């Protein structure tokens, strides 16, 4: 079959794509920027894969699709992007429906959230509205409404992990008593592939969830048990939604926009309505504990394919982050250091292992302080880490940086700062002629940007001198 896949660089999209290609399908992947798509992950299936560049919020970018598409997936989600995500989601869904309607596509598959409560959050209401915008007489719509998705790198798993592993005692909002029905990401992928061309799913929606109905508090405590950690959780009724959002934002690796929308949704029970879809598709539903164990295994094996924080928000797309691939030389401040290399392979390994749990090799406490300052000003902070301790690709998040270029063959790693700054910053590592060149570049905005550079200059001398020494001598 020929399948059209949107959201191909997202958390679910990356995992679904592997399964579709392995099953022998030809897949057209729609991405907002081709430079973010890591083709090396799918090298053995390159003849089955076509990449096209589209932004469904911008009709001008939507070229005509091949007419012979059989199945299409709608995996576009804008919750963490901006305050007006419901408008963006409506436009995206309508544009998607319009272009797919011009093909011979017979089924559209849409993954959304469970929306059984009468009073829905803005986020959940928007997801439900998207269903209506996707309906068309030109194709059949299958809607899968998932509970909280648990898997290595999923937003829910990483937030729970942050809370449990960092806080021995939690004073938490009362919404921890809210009920939900988590589902393993493995089961989600099985449902997404299982409903392909199944006529009994046409123009129907199905709740998909695991067998356990738990409160958020129970989920946290079970996670702690599986990690052999003793944790105490005290629920208090006095935390307002805004305070709760800040609490979640500062403790976990989530953005404030996402934390705010999650808090709104967490006040509503997310429990599935019974159906026979799992039985009809012969899917064995995993328990919450089984989902956690599989997630831990993937992390321990250093085999995390995708993470939720690798996605870009609309802010970065509006700035077109890839235009920053060319590091400027005019109107900028630079801190350039060069050192002769003793062992090239050792240095390359150190460069491509930087960040995350490996740290920044020198003055990590100063990097941590900078991360906390960034969080205080609404930035991403250091908590995102890196998804793989050995591999890194263009488009990956790396603490509070975004990877713009990564090539071991060319011996270069280029990072662009996503922290809050009065300007724009790059960190470039290159090996040339037996030397490591480490260059920090800052393009200031106004007087504040220039004052910022001079304020941090003394720290740069200490941090960057120590870092390049460790990259060479290690």
Whole-number Å distance between alpha carbons of 85 and 203:
25
Helix H or strand E segment including 2: strand 2-6
Whole-number Å distance between alpha carbons of 460 and 425:
13
- In whole angstroms, how far apart are CA 291 and each of 150, 212, 376? 6, 11, 33
φ, ψ (nearest 5 deg) of residue 164: -70, -45
Q: What's the confidence (pLDDT) of residue 379?
A: 76
Q: What's the confidence (pLDDT) of residue 195?
A: 97
Query: Which pairing describes strands 49-53 and 71-74: parallel, antiparallel, or unpaired?
Result: unpaired
DSSP state of 329: -
Domains of the chain (ranges, CATH numbers): 2-300 (3.40.50.720), 330-473 (3.30.530)
Asked whether 169 and 235 are in contact (CB, 8 A), the reply is: no
Closest CA to 5 of 100, 103, 73, 52: 73
Q: What's the confidence (pLDDT) of residue 77?
A: 77
Buried b (16+ CB within 10 A) or exposed e, 275-287: eebbeebeeebbe
Lookup result for tokens 């992007």: 81
Instruction: Kindly tell me the burial class for residue 128, based on how many C-beta atoms sit within 10 Å of its own C-beta (0-12, 13-18, 19 or more).
Output: middle
Asked whether 104 and 67 are in contact (CB, 8 A), the reply is: yes
Q: Which residues, listed in sequence order, are joined to residue 31 by a DSSP beta bridge?
A: 53
Whole-number Å distance between alpha carbons of 184 and 205:
19
- Spatial neighbors of 134 by CB under 8 A, at least 6 apart, are 74, 93, 96, 97, 108, 110, 141
Buried b (16+ CB within 10 A) or exposed e, 218-256: bbbbbbbeeeeeebebebeeebeeeebbbbbbebbbbbb
Q: Which stretches does DSSP call E strand in 312-468?
A: 333-340, 397-398, 401-407, 412-417, 423-432, 435-444
Q: What's the confidence (pLDDT) of residue 85?
A: 64
Whole-number Å distance between alpha carbons of 307 and 314:
17
- In whole angstroms, how far apart are CA 244 and each of 172, 224, 290? 8, 21, 29
Helix H or strand E segment including 165: helix 155-166
Q: What's the confidence (pLDDT) of residue 356?
A: 87
Whole-number Å distance between alpha carbons of 38 and 36:
6
Q: What's the confidence (pLDDT) of residue 311?
A: 58
Report the SS3 class of residue 236. Answer: strand
Whole-number Å distance between alpha carbons of 118 and 124:
11
Q: What's the confidence (pLDDT) of residue 429?
A: 96
pTM over 0.75: yes
φ, ψ (nearest 5 deg) of residue 393: -135, 160
> How many CB atoms neighbour CB 44 within 10 A?
9
Report the SS3 class of residue 243. Answer: helix
Query: Which pairing describes strands 71-74 and 149-150: parallel, antiparallel, or unpaired?
Result: unpaired
Helices (H), 60-138: 85-100, 122-134
Q: What's the confidence (pLDDT) of residue 265?
A: 65
- Spatial neighbors of 301 by CB under 8 A, at least 6 apart, are none
Q: What's the confidence (pLDDT) of residue 40?
A: 73
- Spatial neighbors of 393 by CB under 8 A, at least 6 apart, are 38, 40, 403, 406
Lookup result for tokens 């071991």: 408
Q: What's the confidence (pLDDT) of residue 307?
A: 62
Whole-number Å distance between alpha carbons of 246 and 220:
19
Whole-number Å distance between alpha carbons of 318 and 136:
30
φ, ψ (nearest 5 deg) of residue 193: -85, -30
Q: What's the confidence (pLDDT) of residue 313?
A: 47
Asked whether 204 and 143 are in contact (CB, 8 A), the reply is: yes
Q: Which residues, listed in sequence order, are joined to residue 338 by a DSSP beta bridge?
A: 437
Q: What's the confidence (pLDDT) of residue 42?
A: 81
Strand arrangement of the beta sheet that strand 49-53 belongs to: 49-53, 26-31, 2-6, 71-74, 107-113, 140-146, 204-208
> How many CB atoms neighbour CB 412 within 10 A?
17
Residues of the chain with pLDDT under 70: 36, 78-85, 117-123, 238-241, 247, 253-258, 260-265, 301-323, 474
């Amino acid at each position: 079959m020929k399948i059209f896949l949107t959201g191909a660089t997202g958390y679910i999209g990356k995992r679904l794509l592997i399964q579709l290609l392995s099953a022998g399908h030809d897949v057209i992947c729609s991405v907002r920027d081709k430079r973010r798509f890591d083709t090396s992950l799918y090298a053995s299936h390159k003849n089955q894969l076509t990449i096209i560049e589209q932004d469904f919020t911008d009709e001008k970018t939507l070229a005509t699709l091949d007419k012979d598409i059989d199945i299409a997936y709608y995996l576009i989600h804008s919750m963490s992007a901006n305050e007006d995500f419901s408008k963006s989601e409506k436009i995206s869904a309508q544009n998607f429906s319009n272009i797919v309607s011009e093909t011979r596509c017979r089924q559209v598959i849409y993954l959304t959230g469970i929306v059984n409560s009468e009073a829905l959050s803005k986020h959940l209401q928007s997801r439900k509205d998207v269903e209506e915008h996707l309906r068309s007489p030109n194709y059949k719509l299958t809607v899968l409404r998932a509970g909280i998705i648990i898997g290595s790198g999923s937003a829910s798993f990483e937030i729970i992990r942050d809370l449990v592993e960092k806080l021995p005692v939690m004073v938490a909002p009362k919404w921890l008593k809210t009920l939900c029905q988590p589902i393993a990401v493995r089961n989600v992928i099985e449902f997404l592939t299982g409903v392909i061309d199944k006529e009994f799913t046409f123009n129907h929606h199905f709740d998909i969830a695991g067998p356990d109905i738990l409160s958020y508090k129970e989920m946290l405590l079970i996670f702690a048990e599986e990690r052999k950690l003793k944790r105490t959780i005290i629920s208090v009724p006095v935390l307002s939604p805004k305070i709760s959002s800040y609490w979640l934002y500062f403790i976990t690796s989530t953005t404030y926009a996402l934390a705010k929308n999650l808090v709104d949704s967490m006040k509503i029970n997310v429990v599935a309505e019974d159906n026979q879809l799992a039985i009809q598709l012969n899917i064995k539903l995993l328990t919450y504990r089984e989902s956690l164990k599989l997630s831990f295994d993937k992390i321990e094996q250093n085999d995390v394919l995708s993470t939720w924080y690798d996605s870009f928000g609309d802010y970065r797309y509006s700035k077109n982050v890839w235009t920053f691939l060319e590091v400027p030389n005019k109107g900028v401040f630079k801190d350039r250091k060069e050192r002769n290399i003793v062992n090239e392979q050792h240095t390359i390994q150190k460069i491509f292992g930087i960040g995350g749990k490996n740290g920044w090799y020198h003055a990590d406490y100063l990097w941590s302080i900078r991360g906390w300052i960034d969080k205080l000003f609404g930035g991403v902070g250091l908590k995102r880490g890196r998804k793989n301790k050995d591999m890194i690709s263009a488009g990956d998040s790396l603490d509070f940086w975004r990877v713009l270029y990564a090539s071991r063959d060319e011996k270069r790693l280029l990072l662009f700062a996503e922290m809050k700054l009065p300007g724009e910053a790059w960190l470039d590592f290159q090996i040339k002629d037996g030397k490591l060149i480490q260059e920090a570049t800052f393009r200031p905005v106004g007087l504040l940007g220039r004052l910022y550079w001079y304020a941090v200059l003394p720290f740069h001398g200490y941090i960057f001198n120590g870092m390049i020494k460790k990259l060479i001598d290690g």
